[in-house]
Structure 1
Amino acid sequence: MKIYISILIFLLSINNTFSDEIKEEQIKVAYVYNFLKNISWKNDENIKSYKLMIVSQNQTLNNMFKMLASRKQLNDKNIEVIIYNNTKVDNIQAIFIDKSSEVEYEKLYYEYEKNNTLLISDNYANKKQVMINLLQNDSKITFEINKANILNRDLTVSPDIILLGGTEIDVAQLYKSSQVQLKEQKETITSLNKNIEDKNKELKEQLKAIDQQKTIISDQIKNIKVQNEQLTLQKKELSQIYTSIEEQKEKLFIAQNEAIKKEKDIKNLINLQLEQEKTFEDAKNNLDLLMKKIDEQNSSILVKEEIITNQKNIIFVFFILLIIILALGLNVLRQNRLLKNLSETDTLSGLYNRRYTLKRLEEEVSRFKRYKTPFSIILLDIDFFKKINDTYGHDKGDFVIKQISEIFKQHTRKTDICARWGGEEFLILASNSDIQSATKLAEILRKVVENSDFGINQKVTISLGVATLSENSDQDVVLKLADELLYKAKSSGRNKVIAA
């Protein structure tokens, strides 16, 4: 009777706080409180406060349990409510697992198996694992109790707990039902084992057949391998025969051409002989005529000899004058060529100078805009050149410039324009070259310079910027871009190629 009065008072107190009707959460809280009042724990007198863990996703229910702890006591001791957060807490007297979190029940059941802990579940289906389990049928909440599990946890349950309106689970019936299920499972397993044995026999036969097939296939592979080796030898022999035939054909072709040529030569000789014979006859006739004329002209020769002598003298004078004119002309051409070289090339390096290179750059830009022929430039600079001059003198610096210029001449195409742009700076016009080809050329030049010996105790390297002409750019834009890329190469460590 006292239990029913306590439940009624508690429900009325909760009811006054939240609403005018008794909610499902309020009934659950009341049941849990009364379950705790009817359970005794081992060493109960040593418990300072009763710890109740709540496992629920229902925030209203959690708040109600906290309110219960603030208003009620158990055996004149405080109730401490702990909201579950997936971590184990020691010295827990009771755990309530709401139906919203029933997936955690089995885990907690075994986690606290060796603890003196009461588990209260909510509509949990596995009767073998429940201790006190709330039930809800047609909006009515009751409970069932499995005393065997409670006693296994060293908990003492009051007989009055059944008066709260619960029922006791028939453990013997559960065990009997489990035995029936176990027997059915064993029969099923026996049947499955028999099927497995049958399948194993079939599998062994199939494996045996597969092994036989493997042996056959292995023999076939060996035969194929032998045949392949024979085919390889035959192919090699046929290749040699084919090569010999081709050589014979080539020799026959050459001999045939030589025979045709000789035949033509013989025909030409015969024709030439006929022509010479005819010429000889004509010459003989002409000689007779000439002899007659010579006799006639002998008389006038003495007169003409004086005239001829005068003409020879005049011709000799003209010949001397012609030689003088030719010598003067050749000298003028040589001087013009020398002046042209001086106007186009740099004296120290032997490369083209800046003025000539700018002219060629304008021509390449015009050609690109007209024919869309790819065109790139490489602007490069000798790293730490001032240090070379300061350390080894300007003569050695000039020697380094000459050596690098020779490297550029040797490793660029005849169509490329290599120029000394100024000081230790050089420019290469790579005609008919896209950005990939020009970058590859720049990398080759960089490596060759790096690996060359310049006769000083200092590594000589170069930094290079590579740019290509595009539809919307002109010579000033591409020169500026190459200069920016060169500056980027030098500022990021030198001895490198940067292209865009």
Structure 2
Amino acid sequence: MIKFNKYALIGTIFILSLFSSFYFIDVFSEKNMELQKQILIKQAQTHFKDQVNTRVWNASYGGVYAIPKEGQKPNPYLRDNILKVDENLTLIKINPAWMSRQLSEISNIDGFHFRITSLKLINPDNKATPFEERALKYFDETNEKEYYEIDKESNFNYMGALITTEYCLPCHKHQGYSLGDVRGGISVSLDSKEYFEVTSSIKTSIILLKIFVVIFLFTIFSLIFKQLRYNQQLQTEVKRRTKEIESTKHLLQEIIDTDSSFIVLTDDKEIIYANETILNFTGYHSIEEFKKNNEYIFDVFEKIEDNSNFMQTCNDGIHWIEYLIKEQNSKNLKVCIKKDGKYRYFKPYAKEIKTDDKVLYLITFDEITNEYVKIKELEHMASTDALTKLFNRTKLNDVLEKEMALSRTVPSPLSVIFLDIDYFKAVNDTYGHDAGDRVLINIANIITSSIRAGDIAARWGGEEFMIILQATPVSEASVLGEKLRARVEGHLFETVGKITISLGVTEYINAESEESFIKRVDEALYEAKERGRNKIIIK
């Protein structure tokens, strides 16, 4: 009976060792394959966002008119689709949908293409493919905004939802769409052969590694079983083999300690184990010293309260470990540690391990600082004008909307300055666009150095700039406007020499719309230019 119990115990240890080894191998492979998939998703999302930004620009003008190419006819599905300028020039209207379709036709290259579609078509040429129909139905059923899959031809198909905005209603309201509805989508197709090659290589390597682990563990435990069959005279040999096993366990422990990820074992109440990676990172020499200064593992993480999936001790009323296990596969959860004055970011992953008398949690933290910082840099680039480094118009609209809401709530005065460079076209025509760009950069620098820290400046478009002045009445805003006008007039611009600006200034009237607010300051700027330029007009 005792011998049978020994065999059962060793068999159990063998199975646990096998499954534990497979678990770490599977986690490693899943992380690598997920990373490959995320690369495809990020590429598709970037292409989708580029198209959306282009469509927003077009829609903000209500469509744009262009000179038709040879043989090109007006779009019969658009209202006011022709603009006759004079007897010799007739323009046709290009709306966002037609623009996206034309861009998709000229952008198709080997391994990449995109197109626009909807389940409620205006133009039958935009009929959805089977994949696109699945994606659009998925949006409708789940309220999600993106969908992707990989087809049999090794193409990664991605679709992002097009949300109905105020700019979209003139053309789509008759279809029954309201603000916020998903009216269609833009699909992006990428060649994913390289993805399959990489993931296939990973799977092959994992299979070989598992085979090696099976052989390795089977060999060790086979030796142990054989030792149990010998008589008492072989006890010395059994002890020697036992030392070999302990050595192997020590080796496995050293492997875990040298893992670049943080590895923590906890019972949800106290830290049971933390590998040397996290101990060294946090400046502790032992788990006992770590536990003396940190009752919970979460004590070493920064508390960041925002909407970026940074975990707190309690999330939506749920303890962080329970919340992590529940949401780790659906949300991009992360934590932050401040090290040497710098913030480092980590992605946690938890695994529940049930033993005879308790439940343990094995938690790993993989560093994602470089990826997180890169994403933040890309978000900053998307909201910044590339030339002047000021906010772009899209970002300014977002800020203005929030500032108007704040002004209504507090309440607090809110003013804007709208300025335009006088005769800027002549600068480009006379000195070239490079000189014109330098002028724009210098104007942006003058604005930045003149406004307060809390004020927001942006390039509105072309040679136009707009400044949002928080908690500022129009009387104070006009003083700043005059200061800007004088500084520009007194500045000697390289190559160009002297130039001037015209400015419009106005103050927000409580409860008025953003359109009314902007229209009034635009009228003030127009009046300043009509009165001879190099002036500031207050409305």
TM-score calculated relative to the size of structure 1:
0.37
Q: Which has the higher strand share?
A: 2
Give the TM-score, by structure 2 length: 0.35
More helix by share: 1
